[in-house]
Amino acid sequence: MASVGKIARRTFLIGAAAVAGGVAVGYYYYRKPFPNPLEAELGKGEATFNPYVKIGADNTITIVAPRAEMGQGISTTLAVMVAEELDVGLDRVKVEHGPASYAYYNAAILEEGGPFAFFDESMTAQAVRSGLGVVGKFLALQGTGGSASTRDGFDKMRQAGAAARQMLIAAAAQKLGVAAADLETADGSILHKPSGKSLTYGAVAAVAAAMAPPAEVRLKDRADWKLLGKPQKRIDMLAKVTGAPIFGIDVRLPDMLYGTVKMSPRFWSRPVKADLSRAEKMTV
């Protein structure tokens, strides 16, 4: 039954997309980026480069991994993709889930929604896949599932890190009065080897974030990867071994009340009487 439900829902999505999707709204809307939700929630001295990277004046680097962490390790995986291109170690970054936002839509989650095996690389299968990826953007589902988060994030997250790094380098070049090509990055700092000068990312973050994002984002060669492709420690392990309040059930809101079903303290016996008068007097 479950799989029938799933197919019906997918059929609906595909059908709806033909009406609301690319045809009617057009390429322009498809290309237009969603606004960066982090702009609304920056801390003091913090600057944001794109929906995935925030850097504070104190060089605190925050990566947003906008998929639900359910033990599959996705918050670590997505953070590594950004950290690799940003040239920082995983131990130097803070990872947050980020707000709910269209900017975090999952394009890959629908890609395998067509009637093809994932290894089918025929032209039709590929065309349907890229078509459904476009649908993903229009529906802008911030979803986690279908083994899609890594595939969806692989380019996006690396590009987010690389773009931020390029902007930081450009800002540092300006500040030091040197050519961007002579600058290198390592562990959250920008070095100018010829003069021995260096700046932290935080020192130029505000200027860098105000710059136009690079027209062309250059990604590292696979051979230069330091983190990707290698086993990493999970960023949330410490919280999980110390009983930190990281689960839905641990959320406490102001004036929150707890309710429970009153049950008979004996197996197999039903409650005989219950005083409901106080409950019944409550206003909803």
Applying CB under 8 A, among 243, 274, 278, 284 the residue interacting with other proteins is 243
CB of 250 to other proteins, least distance (A): 4
**Dist CA 49 CA 165 (whole Å):** 9
**Dist CA 54 CA 70 (whole Å):** 24
Task: Give residue 194's identity as a one-letter amino acid code.
Answer: P
Applying CB under 8 A, among 20, 42, 70, 100 the residue interacting with other proteins is 70
247 makes contact with other proteins (CB under 8 A): yes
What DSSP assignment string belongs to 212-267?
PPPSSPPPPPGGG-SSTTS----TTHHHHHTT-S-SGGG---TT---------SST
Pairing of strands 46-50, 61-64: unpaired
Cβ closest to other proteins, residue 73 vs residue 146: 73
Applying CB under 8 A, among 121, 238, 271, 279 the residue interacting with other proteins is 238
Q: Which stretch binds other proteins (CB under 8 A): 36-44, 83-91, 249-257, 275-283?
A: 249-257
269 makes contact with other proteins (CB under 8 A): no
Neighbour-count burial of 227, counting CB atoms closer than 10 A to its CB (0-12 exposed, 13-18 middle, 19+ buried): middle
Cβ closest to other proteins, residue 24 vs residue 70: 70
Cβ closest to other proteins, residue 18 vs residue 246: 246
Q: Which structure tokens are listed for 154?
A: 């692989």
Q: Which stretch binds other proteins (CB under 8 A): 110-118, 171-179, 258-266, 271-279?
A: 258-266
Cβ closest to other proteins, residue 91 vs residue 250: 250
Q: Which stretch binds other proteins (CB under 8 A): 35-43, 49-57, 71-79, 203-211?
A: 71-79
Q: Which structure tokens are listed for 216?
A: 């062309």
Pairing of strands 53-56, 46-50: antiparallel
**Dist CA 273 CA 256 (whole Å):** 28
Applying CB under 8 A, among 5, 31, 71, 276 the residue interacting with other proteins is 71
Binding site for other proteins (CB under 8 A): 69-73, 233-234, 236-247, 249-250, 252, 258, 260, 265
